[in-house]
Copies of this chain bind each other. A is one copy, B any other.
Amino acid sequence: MKNTAVLRISCPYRKGTGTAISDFLCEYGANIIDWDEHLDNALDLLLLRVEWSLEDFVLNEACFRRKFGTFALRFSLSWEVEYCTKTPAVAVFVSHHLHCLLDLLHRYQTGELDCDIGLIISNHQSATLLAEYYSVPFYYLPVTPQIRAQVEAEELELLARHSVDLIVLARYLQVISAGFVAKYPLKIINVRQSFLSGFPAVEPYHEAFTHGVKLLGSTGHYVTPSVDEGPIIEQEVTRITYSDQLDDVIQKGRDLERIVLSRAVRWHLDHRILCYANKAVVFA
């Protein structure tokens, strides 16, 4: 635990806003560790992320929310605060491809991801042993369109029981209903293939291979009720050549996916992402 707090703010630009915030924090004993303030010229918005040590800070979270809430009204701030005093609980959803899950579990085990992976939910049984090896509870919940609503209800119940803060879709190939998504706003992260030319979503690797694209890409993004269109957190590409057969393309895609997904998860856990106007800004 880092024992810090992170405040993320977006607001219409007005002179002195940053200074006022700085004064507020200082007054209560904040030792500021990072201060990223940026002006989006196009929208005339101030974007701010500040992280401070809680060591000498006199406001607990409830007090802070009350006092800062009043303050924020004066400056029309959209704001979020996180007191990093408890480890966030993460649920991973996975289907039968395990590369992203394994990657997350390894980073979790080595302490690179500052979270507690509380449960794994899958519509396949392939991850059973892996979950056991990493001592993470595993729930096998097969889905068909007919029972989706009922399965989602079970999933929501599990998520609530584990007090889950973040859901990671680690190559989970099932549709998730808008109702489900709405319960975890900007708290579901997905990874998907992407290409420099827009191909239809069905069988994208095959399409890309057929069209001879030279770069293969992957996008990590928040899931919003409109499928695959949530704010983009991270993207990465890798080069493919004529000697890459379809198998190679798929494997390179998987290497990308786990890197992109783990970065996105890490930035979320470090509260580095600020969403506004359907964009995700990463203060990394």
Chain A interfacial positions (CB closer than 8 Å to B): 15-16, 18-19, 22-23, 25-26, 29-42, 47-48, 56, 98-99, 102, 106, 110, 112, 129, 133, 194-199, 209-215, 217, 219, 231-237, 239, 241-243, 245-246, 251, 255, 259, 277-284
Distance in angstroms from A57 CB to nearest chain B CB is 10
Report Cα–Cα, A278/B213, bound state, in Å. Answer: 11
Report Cα–Cα, A30/B15, bound state, in Å. Answer: 8
Q: How many chain copies?
A: 4
Distance in angstroms from A194 CB to nearest chain B CB is 4
> Which chain B residues border A251 with CB–CB below 8 Å?
112
> Which chain B residues border A281 with CB–CB below 8 Å?
212, 242
Write the chain B residue with the least CB distance to A255: B259
Report Cα–Cα, A98/B245, bound state, in Å. Answer: 30
> Which chain B residues border A234 with CB–CB below 8 Å?
214
Report Cα–Cα, A239/B235, bound state, in Å. Answer: 9
Report Cα–Cα, A31/B236, bound state, in Å. Answer: 35
